[in-house]
Amino acid sequence: MLVLSAQEVIQALPMQTAIEVVKQAFAALSEGRAHVPLRQSLPISRYEAVSLFMPAYLETSSEEALAVKIVSVFPHNPAQKLPLIHAAVIVMDATTGRIQALLEGSSLTAIRTGAASGAATDMLARQDSHVVAIIGAGVQARTQLEAICTVRPIHTAWIFDSSSEKATQFVREMSGKGSVPQDLRLAKSAAQAIEHADIICTATTSTSPVFEDRYLKAGVHINGIGSYTPEMREVPTETVQRAYVVVDAYASALAEAGDILQPLREGKIDKQHIAAELGEIVLGKKPGRTHREQITFFKSVGNAVQDAACASLALRNAWTLGLGNEIAW
């Protein structure tokens, strides 16, 4: 069995390739070529924590992938100078069930989540998008920015976080890194960040909208990736109402996406307001953006097909590059 550290996962999973693999994973999901139970949540109430279990099997045009990801979120960890999230991905041979690899999961999660937004941005954002706003300045936000800059010629990025210290550190670390432009600007408010943005990414743990609808620019594309429970939300009801809404998967969006479920409960939208799964657009079964002024909204709660596809890709690349430590199993 091969064991890959966080840094080795990053080396083995370049963003451009991850975006293409995630597109094909979503296509497999929408075509019924994937088996993905809803994630199992194990509350650990003593520590106000939760562990999540996410298995997936999928067939793409070129391969099969079988994996399970385990993610534990312990909100009091930062006070102990520990990461908020610990995660691991186990990859199995889809033809035999043999354990093939153990991958550090937080790095893979950050890349595959960024890749999903990269895929959605590529399918939905205007080609002449040049300005991006990132709301939230955590680990996920970094790969969001990287992915968007991989698929669109971004020249300016506005960064906003409720913690100015985190936002400042984000700008310092990400400015000019890879595909990211040098021109990263600190926003004093969410409104300042989004008012000129062609693309917006929300990557927070908020339970209430993180921006106001009235500040949106016509034709903006929004990736909402932070909220993953019915109680969490980042995008206001007014925006959801007037947007062309695309989700990663119908079932999980209607079970977990507070950004969708709360407007549904308010009676402001119905289930038919969800226009498409991203995989349906990849397959050409549903349209993407239909006009320049249209507001598009991709809502993702994360899907285990992303983990299985990206972990399988990382494993193949690791073998080619000679990465990781082989251990007897």
Q: What local confidence, expressed as pLDDT, does residue 238 receive? A: 98
Q: What is the largest CA-CA distance in the chain?
A: 58
Question: Minimal CA–CA distance to 225: which of 130, 144, 295?
Answer: 144
Under 8 Å between Cβ of 296 and 221: yes
pLDDT, residue 14, reads 97
Categorise residue 81: left if φ over 0, alpha if ψ from -120 to 50, beta otherwise: left
Give the DSSP per-residue string, 250-299: HHHHHHH-HHHHHHHHTTS--GGGEEEEHHHHHTTSS----STT--EEEE
Helix or strand run (H / E) with residue 237: helix 237-242
| pLDDT tens column, 158-196 | 999 999 999 999 999 999 999 999 999 999 999 999 999
DSSP string, 149-186: HHHS---EEEEE-S-HHHHHHHHHHHTTSTTS-S-EEE
Q: What is the pLDDT of residues 27-51, one digit of tens each?
A: 999 999 999 988 898 999 999 999 9
Give the pLDDT band of residue 60 (cuts 50, 70, 90). Answer: confident
Q: Could you give the CA distance from residue 59 to residue 65 in angstroms, rounded to a whole number? A: 7
pLDDT at 63: 83
pLDDT tens digits along 9-21: 999 999 999 999 9
- Residue 132: strand, helix, or coil: strand
Contact 261, 291 (CB under 8 A): no
The answer, yes or no, to whether residue 314 has pLDDT greater than 90, is yes
- Residue 60 tokens, joined: 């793409």
Residue linked to tokens 């939905």: 124
What pLDDT is stored for residue 301 in this prediction?
93
Mean pLDDT of 79-92: 94
Regarding beta strands 274-277 and 244-247, do their DSSP bridges make them parallel or antiparallel, or are they unpaired?
A: parallel
